[in-house]
Chains A and B, each alone.
Chain A
Amino acid sequence: MSAFRQSVEAMIPALRRYARALTRDADAADDLVQDTLVRALRSERLFLGGDVRSWLYTILTNLNKNRRRSLARRPQFMQLTENNPDASGTEAEGRDIEKALATLVEEQRSVLLLVMLEGMSYREVADIQGVPIGTVMSRLARARAHVKASLEGERPALRRVK
């Protein structure tokens, strides 16, 4: 296996984690990872060195944008029932953070996850999203404020003005 292939393969677990948090849907997440890998393998010769990791996250982030665009044309399915209300603390917390992520707009969710979950630098995220660092920072600040408000059970629009 080539060095390129090895570095792609090593990234699969982290890509799955990011995709899962991004979509909050196990199947859609693995579809995204699969399409990302297919795209990456196909473009092996176009990859002129550099950071395989950021490149893969860039592909995945863009594919997710396309996915959401095509999803917007389809009926949305929602869970009918809140599953298991007496879940243990960790599970309930997991559900809360999931719900909080759902309140974010796509660019903010992506920034938040790339920085907080995937440990990327602001510079890397700016490259992945193709925006200036200042935009990354303001998206991150807004995302954190929204998630904080959601976790505190507060509607963001009703937050007190300091």
Chain B
Amino acid sequence: MNDHRISVTEDELHAYVDGELPAERRADVEAWLAVHPDDAERVQSWRAMAEMLHARYDAVAQESVPARLELERLERRPRQWLYGAAAAVLVAFLAGSTVGWVAHGAKAVPSTFQSFTEDALDAHRLYVVEVRHPVEVPGNERDHLQAWLTKRCGWTVFAPNLEASGLKLVGGRLLPGPSGPASFLMYEGPSGERFTIYTAKTESGATQMRYAKADRDGSLFWADRGVGYVVTGGNDRDRLTKVAQAVYDQTEKNGG
């Protein structure tokens, strides 16, 4: 008959604190706690824990909402670079037959693509603003630059001639890549616009070209024979696509 002798389980103690216990069982739990100081102490510590959490974090909910979280603003200008598979990634359908690959469609986004492109974008943003030291080896030493990067990277690093697109080779540098060294080449147009070509080893043997955009910079990524290429520059996607196509065509011919 003594209901409170039916043991109270730990689950019931939690449910009691969280207001999830059926009303008819509450009195039993309270009677149990009165004679089980260890359990009463635990229940008390959980309540104190909840108070600490509220004391620490409720203030955040009281703050006025920062401007960047206003719904009006978000509708106008969403963040370009969302996490994970939601990345604003599109397949660039390049002028089909003139280029020697087939676009398979924008299905899965391999993680290599994203981290790779992020690395390239970071390098791009870091160095394109440099006026005095954008590169380690200047563009007028093209042969030396290519030989040095090829030796350090382990694949043929070829600096394409992009003068048809109005771009001159500024030079290049060696960077740490996702798995070993990476090569980084910079080009400049007459109005100071800069494009960069980032290459590093990648697990994806060969892929179609993919487009990604972060802030003001667009990137095109593809992989060929185990080497990933990221061409980055500006927010004019057509122009970027033309430049990337020239890079692809020339590296293809030069076994890059």
Contacts and interface: CB of A to CB of B under 8 A. Distances in A.
A63 B86 CA distance: 9
B83 A70 contact: yes
Interface in B15-58: 15, 18, 20, 38, 42, 45-46, 49-50, 52-58
Given A121-B20, A151-B49, A140 B71 contact: no
A71 B53 CA distance: 25
Which DSSP category, helix, strand, loop or mixed, fits chain A's interface? helix
Contacts of B62: 13
A30 B82 CA distance: 13
B125 interface: no
Interface string B48-88: 01101111111011110110110100110011001111100
Interface residues of A, number: 48
Contacts of B56: 21, 93-94, 97-98
B61 A66 contact: no
Interface string A18-32: 001100000001110
A34 interface: yes
B14 interface: yes
Contacts of B42: 148
B79 A34 contact: yes
Contacts of A96: 52
Contacts of A21: 53, 56-57, 60
B200 to A, nearest CB: 14
B45 A37 contact: no
A73 interface: yes
Given A90-B55, A97-B49, A116-B49, A137 B14 contact: yes
Contact of A122 (B18, B38, B69, B74): B18
Interface in A1-37: 1, 5, 8-9, 12-14, 16-17, 20-21, 29-31, 33-35, 37
B50 A116 contact: yes
Given A90-B55, A98-B56, A63 B68 contact: no
A144 B50 CA distance: 10
Interface of A: 1, 5, 8-9, 12-14, 16-17, 20-21, 29-31, 33-35, 37-39, 41-42, 63, 66-67, 69-70, 73, 90, 93-94, 96-98, 113, 115-117, 121-122, 137, 140-141, 144, 147-148, 151, 162
Given A20-B57, A30-B68, A96-B52, 4 more contacts: A5-B71, A12-B65, A16-B60, A34-B74
Interface of B: 10-11, 14-15, 18, 20, 38, 42, 45-46, 49-50, 52-58, 60-63, 65-66, 68-69, 71, 74-75, 78-79, 82-86, 111, 114-115
